């Protein structure tokens, strides 16, 4: 019989969201950055939405950018999370190609 540890599930309330912070950059070119000098990225992926969040603008799985001191930070296992207000999201990050960027500039 196998027993496993209970999983931690975080359910935000009201207009709060949970964002899993992207891992810090460990290399800059060919230089390895020591752990204590790695800057925390201000980007992450939305992993949970509160019941009152405007789902027309934010959804699970979106990559977002936020301010340096946004929300409340915590760690579960090796992942870093932030609980923040939906209004603390500065921008939604989308993967794109150079062709789309060039078309937008015209």
Fold exhibited by the domain 17-105: 10 Kd Chaperonin, Protein Cpn10; Chain O (2.30.33)
Tokens of 49: 């939405």
Every domain of the chain and the residues it spans: 17-105
Q: Per-residue pLDDT tens for 36-53? A: 555 667 899 999 999 999
User: Above 60 in pLDDT, residue 100?
Assistant: no
Contacts of 60 (CB under 8 A, 6+ apart): 46, 47, 48, 49
* Model confidence, pTM: 0.73
What is the rounded distance in angstroms from the CA atom of residue 58 to the CA atom of residue 97?
22
Q: Per-residue pLDDT tens for 64-77? A: 999 988 899 988 88
Q: Per-residue pLDDT tens for 8-45? A: 778 899 999 999 998 876 655 666 655 555 566 789 99
């Amino acid at each position: 019989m196998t027993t496993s540890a209970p999983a931690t599930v975080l359910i935000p309330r009201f207009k709060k969201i949970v964002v899993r912070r992207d891992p810090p950059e460990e290399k800059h070119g060919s230089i390895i950055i020591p752990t204590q000098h790695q800057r925390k990225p201000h980007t992450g992926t939305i992993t949970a939405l509160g019941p009152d969040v405007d789902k027309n603008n934010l959804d699970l799985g979106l990559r977002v950018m936020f301010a340096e001191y946004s929300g409340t930070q915590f760690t579960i296992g090796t992942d870093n999370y932030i609980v923040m207000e939906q209004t603390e999201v500065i921008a939604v990050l989308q993967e794109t190609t150079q062709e789309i960027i060039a078309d937008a500039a015209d």
